[in-house]
Homo-oligomer: A and B are copies of this chain.
Amino acid sequence: MTPDALPPAERVKISFEPDGGQPREVRVPAGVTLFDAASWNGIAVDSTCGGHGTCRKCRVRVVDGEVPVSRLDPRAFGLDELRLGWRLACMAPVRGDVRVEVPPLVTRPKAATVGVGRQVILRPAVQKRYVELTEATLADQRTDLERLLAALDDLEVRADLRALRNLPGALRQSDFRVTAVVVDDVLVDVEPGDTSARRFGIAFDLGTTTVAATLLDLATGTPAAVTSMLNPQQPFGGDVITRISATMLDPDALGRLTALAHSCLDQLASEVCTAGAVEPHEVYEIALAGNATMTHIALGIDPEPLGVAPFVMTSRSFDGLLAADLGVTVNPGARAYLFPALGAYVGGDIVAGALASGMDRDKRIRLFVDVGTNCEIVLADGDRILATAAPAGPAFEGAQIRCGMRAAPGAIEGVKISDDDVALQVIGDVGPVGLCGSGLVDAVAALVQVGLLDASGRLMAADVAAVTAPGLAGRLRQVGEERVFVLHERGDDPADAVYISQRDVRELQFAKAAIATGWRLLAAEMGIDPADVQQVLLAGSFGSYLSPASAVRIGLVPGVSVLRIVSAGNVAGEGAKMALLSVRERAAAHALLEEVRYVELSDRPDFNDRFIDQLAFPS
């Protein structure tokens, strides 16, 4: 902690200590429940009720830090237990740093809780069947496959060549006692002996910036490992448009981008398998949620038509794929499920996110905003679902911001400005070295509040600032040609300071105006006032970490009570997990394609006027 850092206010640190497992430290927005924090980070906590406090299975013990007793805790615990720190994880919002013991799983649930409190009944596409067959004789020369299929007579399956390659050996290694692995209607593998307890899948969130993977135990619905990495396609451009441009300029670029996507997915698969102590051949299916550009590139399909009007996809959905088609070397017969896309800029990631957020089954007026380089927006009222995409640009990723950086150690992720002081929240136990997206939003919101930024986004002149905010005026400086506000001094050279520049403010204004125009147009289309929105879901690896108050203050989201603004976590990744756990949820995702109406912004005559209106900060 640096001298001018405050105790954590809006992000909290949770140290999970699973019984018999490695402790894990995670950071989540304050207010997230212990259960969600564990779930998002791949730490298994018992639950069968979907996070409503009724199954009383999500028992954890808070051993350090404060978590208030909820109204449902006394039904689950005795007084002594409550004193020892026992809480129901799904009822326990975290407001400060805590250390939590997680008991071992006691149930083998028929359901898992994922997404935004979504309870998913386990019905994975991956099934295993242990069978004991009679050996072949001269009087019974049925083929190996006929023999096996006769024992699976309730399933209508066709055999994959890769399964057939293993079939004769598996049968004869194990006295004709084998486990058949079926994904949907395909026999993908045959294993000697009874391996029916071991079946895994990997859920991928293939983001433009970050790629995340969760290894799921498909028998229990619990995550076995989680990992993520920066998308290695970054050298080709930070956003989808620059990557599409790269493929248009260089005929080899598509091949190289595809290869990078494959090696990235494969490395993550390898990492989660190692971390979860799972053999790669025990992974029989992967599910992937990504935007249309990332998906097309990963499949080796030219993304150019996505990047130029009229913005056309090659296909909405891609069926019959193998994990190997995405470069993922798990079981050779493993299948791949890809989320279908709504449009060139409302891709499978948003369909997955809308599914995980239950946009199709809530009666309230809800606004879903996945904040990123390309910002996807969904508005639903229990009856209609509208979606659009807004090109926010890379400001939120910290790119094109003078002192911008990713949310890594040394990044300022939170900023509070009082009359005469600036308090910074910094990631990791180091001094501030830059500003990540959530810090930028906080800083701009705070500067507006203290009057150092006017509604049009102009930093005050020094003489004005000396009057309105004398304790802060000294932080307004000149760096090169630019006016800046210094957040943190480093040495004597002002250019070494961490600051926010006039141009940075403009970048953010541009980004938030694009987003605000998007949801305002959707609201107009639906005939509602933005103030009527009953819940705002901030999603995406970045959006979930935004301060709701700051988001309201700069006009990124409608001006509703901050209590109605919810961090939804990485909902695209949650959707991918749901698809692995339940074929019914996949059907729901495909139904969304019919239910959602995509509103194209780029050809709206009123777009530019509305966009300019939204550049200013709310007064």
Q: Which residues of A contact B (CB under 8 A)?
A: 136-146, 158-161, 164-165, 167-169, 172, 299-302, 304-305, 309-316, 318-321, 325, 343-344, 600, 602-603
- CB pair B161–A321 under 8 Å, yes or no, is yes
B158, B165, B299, B313: the one within 8 Å of A165 (CB): B299
- CB pair B310–A141 under 8 Å, yes or no, is yes
Chain B residue numbers with a CB within 8 Å of A159 are 315
Minimal Cβ-Cβ distance residue in B for A145: B315
Chain B residue numbers with a CB within 8 Å of A136 are 305, 310, 312
Assuming the contacts A143-B313, A159-B315, asked whether A164 and B299 have C-beta atoms less than 8 A apart, the reply is yes
B164, B319, B602: the one within 8 Å of A315 (CB): B164
B143, B314, B600: the one within 8 Å of A312 (CB): B143
* Distance between Cα atoms of A304 and B313 in the complex (Å): 48
17 A–B contacts from the bound complex (CB under 8 Å): A136-B305, A137-B310, A139-B603, A140-B310, A141-B600, A143-B312, A143-B315, A144-B305, A145-B314, A145-B315, A145-B316, A158-B319, A159-B315, A161-B299, A165-B301, A167-B314, A172-B304
Minimal Cβ-Cβ distance residue in B for A169: B302
- CB pair A301–B344 under 8 Å, yes or no, is no
Assuming the contacts A165-B299, A168-B301, A305-B168, asked whether A144 and B603 have C-beta atoms less than 8 A apart, the reply is no
- CB pair B144–A312 under 8 Å, yes or no, is yes
Minimal Cβ-Cβ distance residue in B for A186: B320
Assuming the contacts A301-B164, A301-B168, A304-B168, asked whether A144 and B344 have C-beta atoms less than 8 A apart, the reply is no
* Distance between Cα atoms of A143 and B318 in the complex (Å): 12
Minimal Cβ-Cβ distance residue in B for A309: B138
Minimal Cβ-Cβ distance residue in B for A302: B168
* Distance between Cα atoms of A594 and B319 in the complex (Å): 33
Chain B residue numbers with a CB within 8 Å of A312 are 136, 141-144, 168
- CB pair A158–B343 under 8 Å, yes or no, is no
* Distance between Cα atoms of A165 and B303 in the complex (Å): 10
* Distance between Cα atoms of A343 and B138 in the complex (Å): 12
* Distance between Cα atoms of A185 and B320 in the complex (Å): 13
Minimum CB–CB distance from A222 to chain B (whole Å) comes to 32
Assuming the contacts A159-B315, A318-B164, A321-B161, asked whether A138 and B301 have C-beta atoms less than 8 A apart, the reply is no
- CB pair A138–B310 under 8 Å, yes or no, is yes
B143, B172, B321, B344: the one within 8 Å of A316 (CB): B143
* Distance between Cα atoms of A145 and B318 in the complex (Å): 11
Chain B residue numbers with a CB within 8 Å of A305 are 136, 144, 168, 172
Copies of the chain in the assembly: 2
B143, B300, B313: the one within 8 Å of A144 (CB): B313
Minimum CB–CB distance from A227 to chain B (whole Å) comes to 27
Chain B residue numbers with a CB within 8 Å of A318 are 161, 164
Chain B residue numbers with a CB within 8 Å of A603 are 138-139
Chain B residue numbers with a CB within 8 Å of A144 are 305, 312-315
- What 12 new A-B contacts, CB under 8 Å, besides A136-B305, A167-B315? A136-B312, A138-B309, A138-B311, A140-B310, A145-B316, A158-B319, A161-B299, A161-B320, A165-B302, A168-B301, A168-B305, A172-B305
* Distance between Cα atoms of A170 and B343 in the complex (Å): 21
Minimal Cβ-Cβ distance residue in B for A313: B143
Minimal Cβ-Cβ distance residue in B for A140: B310
* Distance between Cα atoms of A138 and B309 in the complex (Å): 7
Minimum CB–CB distance from A340 to chain B (whole Å) comes to 10
Minimal Cβ-Cβ distance residue in B for A311: B141
Minimal Cβ-Cβ distance residue in B for A304: B168
Minimum CB–CB distance from A391 to chain B (whole Å) comes to 15
Assuming the contacts A168-B301, A172-B305, asked whether A602 and B138 have C-beta atoms less than 8 A apart, the reply is yes
Minimum CB–CB distance from A254 to chain B (whole Å) comes to 10
* Distance between Cα atoms of A167 and B304 in the complex (Å): 12
Minimum CB–CB distance from A239 to chain B (whole Å) comes to 20
* Distance between Cα atoms of A603 and B321 in the complex (Å): 45
Minimum CB–CB distance from A149 to chain B (whole Å) comes to 10
- CB pair A165–B300 under 8 Å, yes or no, is yes
Chain B residue numbers with a CB within 8 Å of A301 are 164-165, 167-168
Chain B residue numbers with a CB within 8 Å of A309 are 138
Among A136, A137, A140, A315, the one with the most B-chain Cβ atoms within 10 Å of its Cβ is A315
Among A140, A164, A167, the one with the most B-chain Cβ atoms within 10 Å of its Cβ is A164
Among A138, A158, A161, A167, the one with the most B-chain Cβ atoms within 10 Å of its Cβ is A161
Chain B residue numbers with a CB within 8 Å of A315 are 143-146, 159, 164, 167
* Distance between Cα atoms of A314 and B164 in the complex (Å): 7
* Distance between Cα atoms of A136 and B310 in the complex (Å): 7
- CB pair B325–A161 under 8 Å, yes or no, is yes
Minimum CB–CB distance from A39 to chain B (whole Å) comes to 33
* Distance between Cα atoms of A343 and B136 in the complex (Å): 13
* Distance between Cα atoms of A139 and B300 in the complex (Å): 27
* Distance between Cα atoms of A452 and B141 in the complex (Å): 45
* Distance between Cα atoms of A316 and B149 in the complex (Å): 13
Minimal Cβ-Cβ distance residue in B for A159: B315
* Distance between Cα atoms of A321 and B159 in the complex (Å): 11
